[in-house]
Chain A
Amino acid sequence: MDFSKLDSSDMQQFYSQEQQLAMVNEMVSKLTDACWDKCITGTPGNKFSSSESTCLSNCAHRYIEMSLLIMKKFQSLQ
C-alpha cells in the first residue's frame, strides 16, 4: 500500500496516542511483575489478603517515589 498518501497529522496523533498507551502498559506490567515477587510470597489464594493488596498498592507508589529520588540524585551528580 502507499503510505505516502496517509494524512500525516492524523497518523502522527494516532501514533503518539498508541505510544503513550504502550508506555502505560509497559509500566503497569513491569511493576506488577516486580511487586508480585515482593508481595505475594505464599501460594496464591482465592482472594488477596488485605496485607497482600496493600503491599501491591504501596509497592507501586514507592516505586514511583523511588524513581523521583533517583532522578534527583542523578541530577545532583551532574
Chain B
Amino acid sequence: MDSFSSPSPGSSQQMSAQDLKKQLQSQLALEYAQQFLETVRGKCFEKCITKPGSSLSGSESSCISRCVDRYIEATGIISKALFGGSQH
C-alpha cells in the first residue's frame, strides 16, 4: 500500500491520486477550451467581419452569435460522423 491509495490522516500536505487526476483533467479541459475558443474566434472573424468598420455593427454581432452556434453544431456533426457508428 502506498500513501496515495490509502491517504494517512495528518498528511494534509500530500495530494491524493484522486486530487491529482482531477487537477490534470481540469487543466486539460481548460487547455482544450482555450484552443477551441481560439479556433472559433478565427473562423467567425473570417466569416463575419469582412470589412472592419469603426464599430461592430448589429449584423456583425448577430453573425458572430450564429457563427459560434453553428461551429459548435458542426463539431457535434463531425464527432457523430466519426464515432456515431454510421458508415457512408
Given the complex of chains A and B, what is the CA–CA distance between A44 and B32 in angstroms? 24
- Interface size class on chain B is 35 or more
Nearest CB to that of A28 among chain B residues?
B79
Question: Does chain B have a CB within 8 A of A78?
Answer: no
Docked-complex contact A10 and B17, CB < 8 angstroms: yes
Supply 23 A–B pairs (Cβ within 8 Å), ascending by A: A5-B3, A5-B4, A6-B4, A6-B20, A7-B2, A7-B4, A7-B17, A10-B5, A27-B82, A29-B36, A29-B39, A31-B82, A32-B74, A32-B78, A33-B39, A43-B48, A44-B63, A45-B70, A56-B78, A57-B80, A57-B81, A58-B88, A60-B82
B-side residues, CB < 8 A to A, are 2-5, 13-15, 17, 20-21, 24-25, 28, 32, 35-36, 39, 43-44, 47-48, 63, 66-67, 69-71, 73-75, 77-83, 87-88
